[in-house]
Structure 1
Amino acid sequence: MSEHDFDFFHGHWHVANRKIADIPGRGTEWVEFDATSECRPVLGGGANVDNLRAADWEGMTLRQYDPEQQVWRIWWASSRAPGHLDPPLEGRFTDGHGVFFGDDVVGGHEVKLRFDWTAGDEPVWQQQFSYDGGETWETNWVMRFTRV
């Protein structure tokens, strides 16, 4: 685990998204859509920024490594929530698999969030929500990346 954990993700990507259309736990309809993504290192490589562009919205992620605590923190912002930066998730990579946890409010409900990253030539990111303090997790968004 180091500031190089996300180096696999630098560059340009096609993104195949599969996402629950409604608030998780309240709906089961999955939608699929394509997007593009570009990730670049910043701050001497100890952080990175990516832009995700779909047909009608744009998102941005900042990931920053804390060498003292040996964790990554991940922040998300989207054109769907102008002026809002989501609370960070925190975690680390072990053997090419990154797990990150955080807390947020979604649809008026407190939720625990989990991001799972599988590194490699065709990375996969998954988001899961828990409405019961982390006892159970519901996957609500999966992104599969193919390098452009």
Structure 2
Amino acid sequence: MTEQELINFFKHSDLFDYMVTRPLDHILPNWELMWDDDTNRFIPEEDSFAQKVNEMLDELIAIPIPDKNHDNEDILAEHVKQHLNWNIAKIHGRWISCDYQEIINQGSFGDEEQKNLLAAAKGRISAAIQHGQTKFDGMEYGHQRILAMVLASILYQRSYNIY
């Protein structure tokens, strides 16, 4: 995946801010993001996540695509299982006994510098593009929801300097 493919994945998305920044409007009320075609980034505005999203995009560009897409999510799930004592198990490649999004979200609080969250996001974006889903808005809905939650978790933790 090239830098331009990653940028194009988010460029002019109708659903990104609805699914990623709107759930965080209790932190910053200006959740609707505007894209700048000249800079290929979101336009920073007062009380907006645009600058944090731009920083996150720069990090996603810089990190390598993980070898196995779900390994980083599995690390987060293992953290939940071991440190939060959740009764979850991975059976036939799927984590059961709890909502998967909740597992990843809670596991992310033990993720040093959000390295597993960022790698999980990069892996999901790469997989989507490889499967012809070249825009966030065009992703398969289940995967889109998980990616949106991963990105929102990153922004949430950064807003409170939790990571």
Give the shorter-chain TM-score range: 0.3 to 0.5
Q: Which has the higher contact order (CA 8 A, sep 6+)?
A: 2
TM-score (norm. length: structure 2): 0.30
**Structure number with higher strand proportion:** 1
